[in-house]
Amino acid sequence: MEETIKVKLQPLNAEAFRPYGQVLQPKQLIYPEAEEGRVAMELLQLKYRPRAKYLDQLAIHFSYNQTFIPVQGTLVLVVAPPPRNREAGPSGYELDYEKVAAFLVEPGQAAFIEKGTWHNALTLGSTCTFINVTRKNPGEGTSPADELEGRIERANAVRPYVEYVDLRKRDRRVIELEL
């Protein structure tokens, strides 16, 4: 039997978001980094999916930080602090379910996640168009966004420097957003 972890959706603000990264503020600089590949910006669109308030998959990457900037529609960013046991690999990475948080990121806001922060992005509206500041290898092209939802093996093959973890399979848990 799987356990449901309920997470209350909250507006994005700098103080609440601090354990996961930064919220871009006026007169502040944030520096995207990529230890390998290159920093890239892409315009992506997320489409609403049935049962969007239930998540069983999170991504994690240690070689770059990432920024999400909605331009049309609201983005929901689900995050958890980086694991302390990076050497454990995806099957053993610590995920502190008590510190999982979900933020509404409105058009014009920028949410910057630190390297190693667990995350997933979705929309509760029909669509959300957003700027993704991410890492890309030469010739890689844009992120497949919606195409990889729920297809962890394919996602890991397409972007091997991003690790996708199936929480249902690994931990027998699922995250439910409280709207």
Q: Tell me the per-residue pLDDT of 122-159, one tens digit each, with 9 for 90 and over.
A: 999 999 999 999 999 888 877 766 554 555 555 666 77
pTM: 0.93
Where do the domains of the chain lie, and which CATH numbers do they carry? 3-178 (2.60.120.480)
Question: What pLDDT sits at residue 146?
Answer: 56
- Tell me: the pLDDT tens digits for 35-80? 999 999 999 999 999 999 999 999 999 999 999 999 999 999 999 9
Give the pLDDT confidence of 84-94 residue by residue, as tens digits: 999 999 999 99
Given 3-state DSSP classes, what are the helix, strand and coil percentages for the chain, each rounded to the nearest 5? 15, 40, 45
- Picking from 35, 39, 59, the residue whose alpha carbon sits closest to that of residue 117 is 59
Name the token pair of 76. Answer: 């929901």
